[in-house]
Amino acid sequence: MIITTSDRIKHIKPYYFAGKMARIAELNKQGFDILNIGIGSPDLMPHKSIIDRLKESANNENSHGYQSYKGIENLRNAFSKCYERNFDINLDPLSEIQILMGSKEGIMHIAMSFLNNEDKVLVPDPGYPTYNSASLLAGADVIKYNLTEKNNWHPDFKELEKMDLSDVKIMWLNYPHMPTGAKATISLFEQAVEFAKKNKILLVNDNPYNFVLNDSPLSIFNIQGAKEVALELVSLSKTYNMAGWRIGALIGNSLYINEIIKFKSNMDSGMFKPIQEAGVIALNMDKDWNKYMNEIYKQRRNKVWEIMDMLKCTYDKNSTGMFVWGKTNIEDEEKLIEDILDKSRVFIAPGRIFGENGKGYLRISITNSIEKLNQALNRIKENFL
C-alpha cells in the first residue's frame, strides 16, 4: 500500500538543478567528465580568518548547546553595522534582524507566515523558482509578472496597476536580479514601495548578490517609508564563499519579524554557534575582500563572454552578480544546451527554467575557474561548432 501525499506537494516539481545534478553525477560515474558551468555554487574558499574562528569556537565547550532562535547578539550586531557601513541605514539589531539558516529558508518562512489559501502572490518571470514553489506550498495562487530585456528586466508598474490586485498579499523582488544580473535603481525601489503601499502588499526584496561585481549596492530600505511595507533577505553565501554554511538574515519591521519567528521557532532549534561566530568575522571584513573577489570574477566573466560570443549570444556587459545571461538566436534554448551537453560534455543552464520570459536565453556561472571555463570553451569549439 502506498500512502498518498498531501495536496500541497502534488503541484510542486523537484528543483530543476536537483534532477540535473543527479543526471550529471550519473554521467560522471560512466566516465563522461561533465563540466558544469551553469550552477552558481562558489568554488573559492572563505577567508582564512573565518575558518579559524569556526575552529576556535568549535573547540569551546560552551559552543554546542541550543542557540537563540533570533541568532546570537554579535551576529545581529554585525549585520546591523554592515547595513550602516554599506547603505547608511540604521537597524535595531534586537528587533529588526532575524538570523536565518540561509536566505532560501527565509523565503519559505515568509510565505508560511503571511499567506492563506487563495491569497495571491506576484512572482517575477524570469526569476528564482523558489518564490513560486514556496507560494504554492503555502496554498497561495501565483501570478507571474513580466520582466523583459526591453524594460531592463524591471517590473512595469503601469502594467501591474491594470491587474486585479485585490487579493495580492506578497510581491517578490530580487535585485540585483537573478538570473539576468539587472541592477536595482533608486527609481525602481521608489516605484515598488509606492506600489506596495497603494495596494497594501508586502514587498520582499531577495538580495544575496549586492556586493558581487556591483559598483552601486542598494537596499530596499534606502527608500523612505519602506519599513512599513517591505522585508529584505540577505546572505553570506555569495559574497563570502559560504554557501554551504547556510547563514542569512531577514531584515525589516519588528512587527513582521515577530510574526515570522512564530513559524521559524517551530521549524528549527537555532544555528550552531561556531558558524554564527564565523559569520561575525565575515561581516566585519573590510572592502579589500570584495575588491579581491571581484577582480577574480571580472577575469572569469571575460572568459564567459568569450563562450557567449562563440555561441553567438548577446548579453549586457553592465550586469552584476554571479552569472552571465545571454540571448540566443533560437527559441528552443533547451535543445541547444542538451546538444552541447551530449556533444561537448558541458552543462549550461537553459533560461526557461526561470520562467516563460527566459526562453531563448542561457545562463553561465562565473563560479568556475579560468581553467575550467577555458576547457569548456575548447570542448564546445571542438565538438559542437
312-324 pLDDT, tens digit per residue, is: 999 999 999 999 9
Task: Check whether residue 249 and residue 263 sit in a common domain.
Answer: yes
> Based on the domain organization, do 179 and 276 belong to the same domain?
yes
| 3-state secondary structure (DSSP) of residue 17 | helix
When pLDDT is averaged across residues 121-142 and rounded to a whole number, the result is 96
Structure confidence at residue 64 as a pLDDT band (50, 70, 90): very high
**CA nearest 202: which of 288, 260, 243?**
260
Locate 323 and state its grid cell: 552569472
Q: Is the peptide bond before 126 cis (omega within 30 degrees of 0)?
A: yes
> Residues 50-60: pLDDT tens digits?
999 999 999 99
By CB atoms closer than 10 A (0-12, 13-18, 19+), residue 353 is middle
SS percent in the chain: helix, strand, coil, step 5: 45, 15, 40
Q: Report how many domains make up the chain.
A: 2
Tell whether the torsion through CA atoms of 51, 91, 131 and 9 is positive or negative: positive
Give the chain's mean pLDDT: 95
Q: Which residue has the higher pLDDT, 184 or 16?
A: 184
Residues 220 and 313 in one domain: no
Return contacts of 155-162, CB within 8 angstroms, 24+ apart. 155/124, 155/188, 155/191, 155/192, 157/191, 157/192, 157/195, 160/122, 160/195, 161/195
**Could you tell me the CA-to-CA distances from 22 to 17, 29, 102, 355 in Å, in that order?**
8, 11, 23, 22
**177 and 309, same domain (yes or no):** no
Residue 370 has a CB neighbour count (10 Å cut-off) of 12
Domain residues for the domain of 333 are 7-45+288-383
**Residue 16 shares a structural domain with residue 66:** no
**Are 69 and 178 in a shared domain?**
yes
Query: What is the predicted pLDDT for the residue at 6?
Result: 85
